[in-house]
Amino acid sequence: MKVLLTQDVKKTGKKGDVVEVKEGYGRNFLIPNGLAVEASGGAMKQVQEEKKTQEKRLAKEIEEARQLASRLEKEPIVIRHKAGNEGHLFGSVTSSEIAEALKLKGFEVDKKKIVLEEPIRIVGSYSAKLKLHHEVAAMLTVEVQSL
């Protein structure tokens, strides 16, 4: 029996796949639980249209992320922090502080998307990776200055 999966099913397939399953598995489990529908012409067309719209939406998200990455990489983020005589900071600069500095510049970024290789504890210039999309990442320049 051929069925069209409406959700991901372990060991069977992903959403939108047309798979060949045993008659009992399809009629008694997949279809009653809403995991699949019989593979008919109308259902196939509907899934193809959904895939097209999803691909367009994904392409638009990637393009927006690339534009945002190019704008973010142009200018450095300046963070002023209390420091001692030798340039050692009292505490460290965290991803949440970088997110706040980006917010002041007009960029709404989640602090979980900012990746620091190591904590920033000395005054200077550093780079931080910003994951905007699973395919797009930007490299930020973070300049830490003492107060």
**Confidence (pLDDT) at 28:** 95
CA torsion 7-9-15-17 (nearest 10°) is: -140
**What distance in Å separates the CA atoms of residue 141 and residue 147, rounded to the nearest whole number?**
19
Q: Where are the alpha helices (DSSP H) in 75-143?
A: 95-104
How many Cβ atoms from other residues are within 10 Å of residue 97's Cβ?
A: 19
pLDDT digits (tens, 9 = 90+) for 71-129: 888 889 999 989 988 889 998 898 999 999 999 988 888 899 999 988 899 999 999 99
Phi, psi of 83 (to 5 degrees): -140, 160
Domains belonging to the chain, first-starting first, are: 2-62 (3.40.5.10), 64-146 (3.10.430.100)
* Whole-structure pTM value: 0.67
DSSP state of 87: S
Total count of residues recorded for the chain: 147
